[in-house]
Amino acid sequence: MKFVDEAYIDVIAGNGGNGCVSFRREKFIPFGGPNGGDGGRGGHVWVAADRNLNTLVDFRFSRRHEARHGEHGRGSDQFGAAAEDIVLRMPVGTIIRDAETGAPVAELLEPGERILLAKGGDGGFGNLHYKTSTNRAPRQKTPGWPGEQKKLKLELRILADVGLLGMPNAGKSTLITAISNARPKIADYPFTTLHPNLGVVRVGPEQSFVVADVPGLIEGAAEGAGLGHQFLRHLQRTRLLLHLVDLAPFDGVDPVEQARAIVAELKKYDPALHDKPRWLVLNKLDVVPVDERAARVKDFVKRFKWKGPVFEISALTREGCEALVQAIYRHVATYQTHHVEPDVRFAETPEEEPAFAPQADDPRFR
């Protein structure tokens, strides 16, 4: 399945049905009185988080989602039927924004979560609604309320505990294959990874965490160079970043300069992402002679001026991977189940759905 993590859709709730003006007409009952019913409510548009989905590909080519209108009221005290709601199923981790302003509308964090995207219009009142002791033959009715219409941008941010960060060919795909159940494409050329991959790392019977592998970054990624800039936002949801560095680049480039370039791109893209907890993982020790490893690691850390945690591994031979996995689990286990961004405001839930209350100065009354 093609990975799609961004899409634009139009959601249109149904209009409410119109009220009806009708009078009871029956033999031997000359003044039967009003019996025009109210219109039915238009259909709502809901969104639901589905744990079985991992891409927005269903919304790439299906952009318009429209609910039905409510039925009009009829005579004989018959109210119009409410229209059926429609439910759009999206992956957990989807952020929904207003396409024009970019303001957050909703965020799906829990499987099965339901949020109201567009409210259907309430039905209009029939003349039965206006019968009083002094107005026994009302001829008033109101049209139905229009349903909400919104243009929305869908953005999928992968929910992962750990994000792998590094230049192309740093060994990210090899590492996620070595420690998890993910099987991404691995080859001896840059930009092998074209879309994010998720892997579940099992530490114990009920102990695990999720790792996200995104395409490699290059210098200028924050301005749009390469592929990694399209997926940097996935790293914003992680609790820990693993900065993978190739200690023995095949092209002879200084690994310290490559590491500094990655850090600079993080800071340009998002200072908060730059300040996120980050560990240094020096990879491909199997390529470095055994008697040179300690000196090369010490030289790298000194020139890079790194003071955080350092791990020396070989993702190919899995040397040092077990110690890395145990340390990661101890770190992520201290956090809550999910991280919630404070700037996201949720849409109305079914319990918070506002009731329709007509006002005396409503222009639809006539």
Q: Are residues 275 and 130 both part of a single domain?
A: no
pLDDT value at position 247?
83
Token pair recorded at residue 279: 């560990």
Q: Cβ distance 138 to 187 under 8 Å?
A: no
Residues 125 and 166 placed together within one structural domain of the fold? no
The domain tally of the chain equals 2
Q: How confident is the model at residue 114, as a pLDDT?
A: 93
168, part of any domain: yes
For residues 294 and 277, membership in a common domain is answered with yes
pLDDT in tens, 245-273: 888 777 778 888 888 888 887 888 778 87
Is 153 within a domain? yes
150 and 169 together in one domain? no
Among the listed residues 327, 325, 319, the one whose alpha carbon sits nearest the alpha carbon of residue 201: 325
* Greatest pairwise CA separation for the chain in angstroms: 111
Pair 261, 317 in one domain: yes
Could you write out the DSSP letters of every residue in 266-284? HHHH-HHHHTS-EEEEEE-
Both 27 and 136 in one domain: the answer is yes
> Which residues fall within 8 angstroms of residue 287, CB to CB, at 6 or more apart?
247, 248
Q: Are residues 233 and 122 in the same domain?
A: no
Domain of 199 in residue numbering reads as: 162-332
| Listed residue (161, 190, 157) closest to 176, CA to CA | 161
- Regarding whether 179 and 147 lie in a shared domain, the answer is no
- pLDDT confidence of residue 350: 41
- Dist. CA 33–CA 75, nearest whole Å: 11
Q: Which of 169, 188, 13 is nearest to 86 (CA)?
A: 13
Residue 152 lies in a domain: yes
pLDDT under 50: residue ranges of the chain: 1-2, 184-193, 221-228, 336-366
CATH number for position 183 = 3.40.50.300
Contact 91, 155 (CB under 8 A): no
Same domain for 327 and 178: yes
How does pLDDT run across 65-106, given as a tens digit for each residue?
Answer: 999 999 999 988 889 999 999 999 998 888 899 998 889 999
38 & 108 share domain: yes
Q: Quote helix, strand, coil % in the chain, to nearest 5.
A: 20, 25, 55
Please indicate, yes or no, if residue 340 is contained in any of the structural domains.
no
Please choose, from the candidates 79, 80, 106, the residue with its C-alpha nearest in 3D space to the C-alpha of residue 94. 106
Token pair recorded at residue 224: 């749009």
Specify the DSSP element, H or E, that contains 100. none
What percentage of the chain carries pLDDT values higher than 70?
80
Residues 6+ apart with CB under 8 A from 4: 55, 56, 57, 59, 60, 156
| Within a domain: 69 | yes
Could you tell me if residue 337 is inside a domain?
no
Assess whether 293 and 366 both reside in one domain: no
Q: Measured between alpha carbons, how far is 114 from 159 in angstroms, rounded to an integer? A: 18
Q: Which letter does DSSP use for residue 181 in this model?
A: S
Here the CATH number for the domain that contains residue 14 is 2.70.210.12
Tell whether 146 is covered by a domain.
yes
Whether residue 216 is contained in a domain is answered as: yes
Token reading at 23: 């009078």
pLDDT of residue 11: 95
User: In this structure, are 173 and 53 located in the same domain?
Assistant: no
Q: Write out the two tokens for 89.
A: 């199923």
